[in-house]
Amino acid sequence: MAPLVQRLREREGVAVRVCVTAQHRSMLDDALRIFDITPDYDLDIMTPGQTLSGITGAVLRSIDPVLEDFRPDWVLVQGDTTTTMAAALAAFHRRIAVGHVEAGLRTGDLDNPWPEEANRRIATIVSARHYCPTDRARQNLLKEGVDPGRILVTGNTVIDALHMTAARIGADRALQETMAQRFDWLDPDRRLILVTGHRRESFGEGFQQICRALARLAERGDIQIVYPVHLNPNVRGPVFDILSESLAIRLIEPLDYVSFLWLMQRAYFILTDSGGVQEEGPALGKPALVMRETTERPEGVEAGTSRLVGTNADQIVAECAALLDDADRYRTMSTTRNPFGDGTAALQIAEDLAG
């Protein structure tokens, strides 16, 4: 949302307030610092072992006084998190118009991704404006009966943020040197595979399979795997149990956005179950192998920038090996146009709201 906050603040007659839930405090604070955003409201809802119902209830209770205090004309939410769903519902309860950024993504399966598929559908029901990243997302909403006059295809603000940050890295020699020193353990003679994995529907056997696949890949000898490990204990448990002894795998703490982008720029390809990374990697010319059974971003699969590889260890290893060993396949995936926008989404949304 950072590019949209910036664009709205540039417009006369628009008062902008930023509200955060702080579900993951350290990760949030890094992002706020990078984009120079100071929240006007910090709900600080994080508690040990929080459940989805607990998060939902905490957001609903905590955000209602914010809406009473500020009385906005619009509440803007992005994506498919539990925060998005609960904040949209709280605004709807107060008859405040909701603008849903990154609207219209669908898999058609409530279990994959879980609970995000339900979250985004609920947000759709209560939203007054739907800002879609692609025309396919628009078509999804039209099939559900959403008024076409309330839908605008803008691309995704994720790509705006990516371009902003990449430009900053490219123009800042001192920052480049800082990043090089921070990751001076990278081996320039081995191709880098960057991994992200945190999906709830993969907890248990799914993560066991993913970790076994990474362990087998590390035995090749010609690659280096870097895995910033999510803070959720359901992720950290199997990851550290299975992978901590492998010399070709570097398990590190979650990264701030600048550092993660710097690593993405240096990766050969990205192995991920993240939604946003399916857009960010290909925007940098990095193929994305998606460790999920379904994706709400089929545009990337159809364009050829990403490929579904599931959570089966054999399949993950085979797909990674094909990309590592087949230069033509790699060239095709890395040079295909990214279908998720051109970096002007925030400007289009700001103009629509202000108009």
Q: Choosing from 198, 212, 250, 292, which is the catalytic residue?
A: 198
CA nearest 155: which of 348, 337, 340?
Answer: 340
Q: Is 80 a catalytic residue?
A: yes
Tell me which of 31-40, 123-132, 167-176, 197-206 is least confident: 197-206
My answer on whether 207 and 119 are in the same domain is: no
Q: Is 116 a catalytic residue?
A: yes
Q: Is residue 164 part of a domain?
A: no
**Looking at residue 27, what is its pLDDT?**
73
Q: Choosing from 116, 160, 280, 299, which is the catalytic residue?
A: 116
Q: Is 351 a catalytic residue?
A: no
Q: Is 105 within 8 Å of 153 (Cβ atoms)? A: no
Sequence-separated (6 or more) residues with CB below 8 Å from residue 68: 94
**Looking at residue 24, what is its pLDDT?**
73
My answer on whether 15 and 85 are in the same domain is: yes
**Residue-level length of the chain:** 355
Q: Is residue 162 part of a domain?
A: no
Residue 102 scores a pLDDT above 90: yes
My answer on whether 67 and 88 are in the same domain is: yes
Q: Is 219 a catalytic residue?
A: no
| Mean pLDDT for all residues in the chain | 94
My answer on whether 46 and 94 are in the same domain is: yes
My answer on whether 319 and 347 are in the same domain is: no
Q: Is 200 a catalytic residue?
A: yes
Pair of tokens at residue 107:
């898999």
Sequence-separated (6 or more) residues with CB below 8 Å from residue 5: 16, 18, 35, 37
CATH number of domain containing 92? 3.40.50.2000
My answer on whether 349 and 306 are in the same domain is: no
pLDDT tens for each residue of 189-245: 999 999 998 877 778 888 899 999 999 999 999 999 999 998 888 889 999 999 999
My answer on whether 272 and 350 are in the same domain is: no
Q: Is residue 289 part of a domain?
A: yes
Q: Is residue 152 part of a domain?
A: yes
Three-state SS at 123? helix
Q: Is residue 217 part of a domain?
A: yes
Q: Choosing from 25, 150, 163, 200, which is the catalytic residue?
A: 200
Q: What residues make up the domain containing 297?
A: 174-335
Q: With left for phi above 0 and alpha for psi between -120 and 50, is residue 13 left, alpha or beta?
A: left
Q: Is residue 257 part of a domain?
A: yes
Q: Is residue 167 part of a domain?
A: no
Q: Is 242 within 8 Å of 225 (Cβ atoms)? A: no
My answer on whether 128 and 189 are in the same domain is: no
My answer on whether 67 and 184 are in the same domain is: no
Mean pLDDT of 95-109: 97
Q: Choosing from 30, 102, 201, 299, which is the catalytic residue?
A: 102
**Looking at residue 346, what is its pLDDT?**
97
**Total tally of structural domains belonging to the chain:** 2
Q: Is residue 142 part of a domain?
A: yes
Mean pLDDT of 104-110: 95
My answer on whether 42 and 92 are in the same domain is: yes
My answer on whether 133 and 197 are in the same domain is: no
Q: Is 163 a catalytic residue?
A: no
pLDDT tens for each residue of 268-302: 999 999 888 998 998 999 999 999 988 889 999 99
pLDDT tens for each residue of 20-76: 998 777 778 888 888 899 999 999 998 888 899 999 999 999 999 999 999 999 999
My answer on whether 183 and 293 are in the same domain is: yes
Mean pLDDT of 172-198: 95
Give the DSSP H or E segment for 98. strand 97-101
